[in-house]
A and B are shown apart, each in its own frame.
Chain A
Amino acid sequence: MKKKSLAGFIQKFYVYIVLLVMYAPILVLIAFSFTDTKVIGTWNGFSLKLYASLFKNKDIMDATLNTFVVAFSSAVVSTALGTLGAVGIFYSGKRAKALLEGMGQIPILNAEIVTALSLTILFVFFGVRFNFITLLIGHVVLTIPFVVLSVRPKLMQMDPNIYEAAMDLGATPNKALMRVVLPEVIPGVISGFILSVTLSLDDYIITAFTRDTAYQTLSTYVYGITSKRGALPPSLRALTTMITLLALAVLLIANFRGKNAEGRKPKR
């Protein structure tokens, strides 16, 4: 009877156990961001000192700002290009479509190090100095295929005739695209944007290869310290907690918006 109840317990809570294992490291980090000990493991009582020192640490604050600047600007560029690309691929001929779709997915399958290295070689070949623009291009290259991939299913769900219907009613190709096709794929565009931001936020390899060496993002900053076997400032725990909470907030908003859009009442 007892044996059976154990199996039943595992059966019932299997998913929760998996989730717990997945989230345990983050939870530990979050918990220990509210104490001011140097090392994780000893609890020195509740304190917000780490948060206070975080905002005083100029290096961390600069790296954080840089990270978000790159993430958002590259996401804007790749969302715009990727959405247009997805629409272009969708409306192109059979053969071109198959070819473009295949080519668009190679960067996803390809090792990131290869992309990073080839970008570096390209920049060096053309004598370009590494600066913010090269870093931006690197991140756009990284994230664009994901935008295409997240817009594509929305296009496939769409009635392909609506583009022609809009032109039939007097819309120029541009207007037809903006007023009819774009509103249909906007959920895919938004998720492509969010995906781009998150991919760019935690990217290290491409960032390390294409940045100006003075330009630190969070990943290069952390890696820079650990590679020198230096001690990470405890205030990073506070930073990661804040980023996690931010991600959680974005997720909740996205979900809430999605539900809201479904039950949306038309208005005039």
Chain B
Amino acid sequence: MKDNNIIIELKNVSKHYGQTYAVEDFNLQVKKGEFVTFLGPSGCGKTTTLRMIAGFEVPTCGQILLNGRDISSLPPYERPVNTVFQRYALFPHLDVYDNIAFGLKLKRVEDENGKTRRLTRREITEKVRSALKIVDLEEYEDRDISTLSGGQQQRIAIARAIVNEPEILLLDEPLGALDLKMRKDMQLELKEMHKKLGITFIYVTHDQEEALTLSDTVVVMKDGMIQQIGTPEGIYNEPANAFVADFIGESNIYSGTAMGGLKVRFLGHVFDALDEFEKNEKVDVVVRPEDIKIVPAGEGQVSGRLVSKIFKGIHYEYLMMVGRSEVVIQDTKSLDIDREAGIIIEPDGIHIMAKELTANIYDDAYIDKNNNVVISERPFPCDVTQLVPGSTLDGEGYVIGPDGTVYDFTDADVKASIGLGDIEILDDVDAGEAQGSVVASIYKGDHYMLTVRTAEDEDFVLDTEYTYDEDDRVGIHVKPESIALTLKGEAKKYAKK
């Protein structure tokens, strides 16, 4: 079934540069007239995706459908799509008028007789003037680009794009170079413009506030993959995972346990919540700082010590220590710090998400001849006797089964699983079994969840109390008994005759 309202659709789009994946399996449908924002930290693939829609990059695989037609390999000059570039990319040798008229002068239109013709000078002037009117710079026609301020150049860049009446307007961090006040004004104007023009906008930004303010739909991205697609309210109130919760707005993220029947335990207390999870399931709990109420000591669900207070204009931001967990709280009241206090969190302030990861699973591990399990081309000492229940190891390294069968597991394919808490992080890079650099760090109240990526692009996710910065080089150590192994195929295969 075709939905005629869909103007552009990306189907399984991926972009690889050699070994690195800039965008991975991107699927999105955009409705006509929608304001869609790609949001994510730098290097998340949002600009690459935009460039594929504009035609500057060709997807490695997948399709881009514009009104149902595949345009993946169409050059940019044949796409009914225009772009507002990050640093405007205005033509410095042309004045304002000629910049805006650039696209119109190249345009061919069909007249009544079906013949193609250029636009007349009069038509061009008319269109340029109306575009200038939309961006509020009517008097600037004859000005040189270099005499314009950043904000004015920004408007000209927008005028230059919309004058061509594109079906989709692409905006690549268009407000990034403006100061805060100007950015706020332009945000409002862009939203106004979007309403007036009725064109589909696809907007790229790393500023979560901008995304929430402007968009109908926000696509949150990380490492080339979509994390969540939703309305601004949706992604703020119901983040799909800890990354989205952490990236969108401020949040307290805790590891918790579902207690069954809408109850969840975290911060050492069982809270009522609105989401139901299986009993004893490990979950991530997100609580927004504004959803926590401070009450006198003893009256709250949980009590702790208020340790700091920062004035933020419309509210105060407090930091409370509950045991070893930090709780960030926003409150409009001014309270004394360095004292005990309680907190109350209402059920609708608690958002529970299935834990992204409870263990690192390595599907393509194997056993080497020294009975190590090889993960990411690194040998980790492990206990191979777990592959055959009740077995022991003989002096030569063969596994002896309870019935006396001798097994040789050299080159056996196994699935290895290591718990997040079982990986030890080492400052001495070469001391452990593997080395890598920290690529992500999410604060979970009383510890950090770090992702360490090896040179072979394998990730080790671990919990640690210590702070590491992104790009820190670290070593990794796992105790042999902490590695759980599952043999692929029958153990019989490896029995020695």
**Chain A residues in contact with chain B, CB under 8 A?**
159, 161-162, 164-172, 175, 179-180, 183-184, 266, 268
Contacts and interface: CB of A to CB of B under 8 A. Distances in A.
15 contacts: A159-B92, A162-B91, A164-B54, A165-B83, A165-B85, A168-B54, A168-B77, A169-B77, A169-B82, A169-B161, A169-B164, A170-B77, A170-B103, A175-B106, A183-B93
Interface residues of B, number: 30
Nearest to B78: A170
Interface in B239-281: none
Contact of B106 (A162, A171, A183): A171
A168 B82 contact: yes
Interface string B51-62: 000111000000
Contacts of B88: 159
B109 to A, nearest CB: 12
Contact of B144 (A159, A164, A170, A266): A266
Given A170-B164, A172-B77, A184-B93, A159 B87 contact: yes
Contact of B92 (A166, A168, A169, A184): A184
B304 to A, nearest CB: 51
Given A161-B85, A162-B89, A169 B142 contact: no
B87 A161 contact: yes
Contacts of A172: 77
B346 interface: no
A-B pairs with lowest CB-CB distance, top 4: A169-B103, A161-B89, A165-B89, A266-B95
B142 A168 contact: no
Interface in B116-161: 142-144, 160-161
Contacts of B91: 162, 165-166, 180, 183
Contact of B142 (A164, A183, A184, A266): A266
B381 interface: no
B87 A168 contact: no
B43 interface: no
Report which residue of A179, A180, A266 has the largest number of chain B beta carbons within 10 angstroms of its beta carbon: A266
A268 B142 contact: yes
B106 A169 contact: yes
Contacts of B103: 169-170
A126 to B, nearest CB: 40
A246 to B, nearest CB: 30
Given A168-B161, A169-B106, 19 more contacts: A159-B87, A159-B89, A159-B92, A161-B87, A165-B91, A167-B56, A167-B76, A168-B83, A169-B103, A169-B161, A170-B107, A171-B77, A175-B106, A184-B92, A266-B95, A266-B143, A266-B144, A268-B95, A268-B142
B79 to A, nearest CB: 8
B75 interface: yes
Contacts of A183: 91, 93
Nearest to A264: B144
A266 B91 CA distance: 13
B460 to A, nearest CB: 30
Contacts of B26: none
B97 interface: yes
B362 interface: no
A167 B161 CA distance: 12
B93 to A, nearest CB: 4
A170 B85 contact: no
Contacts of B236: none
Nearest to B95: A266
A169 B160 contact: yes
B431 to A, nearest CB: 35
A131 B56 CA distance: 46
B125 to A, nearest CB: 10
B102 interface: yes
A161 B90 CA distance: 9
Report which residue of B55, B93, B144 has the largest number of chain A beta carbons within 10 angstroms of its beta carbon: B93
A172 to B, nearest CB: 6
Contacts of A167: 55-56, 75-77
A265 B81 CA distance: 33
Nearest to B56: A164
A172 B92 CA distance: 19
Contacts of B92: 159, 184
B80 to A, nearest CB: 10
A108 B102 CA distance: 39
A180 B86 CA distance: 18
B102 A166 contact: yes
B282 to A, nearest CB: 44
Nearest to A158: B92
A68 B101 CA distance: 42
A115 B382 CA distance: 65
A183 to B, nearest CB: 4
A162 B99 CA distance: 11
A162 B102 CA distance: 12
Contact of B76 (A161, A168, A268): A168
Contact of A268 (B86, B97, B144): B97
Contacts of A171: 77, 102, 106
Nearest to A169: B103
A168 B86 CA distance: 14
A156 to B, nearest CB: 14
Contacts of B54: 164, 168
B91 to A, nearest CB: 6
A170 B164 CA distance: 9
A176 to B, nearest CB: 8
Report which residue of B76, B81, B85 has the largest number of chain A beta carbons within 10 angstroms of its beta carbon: B76
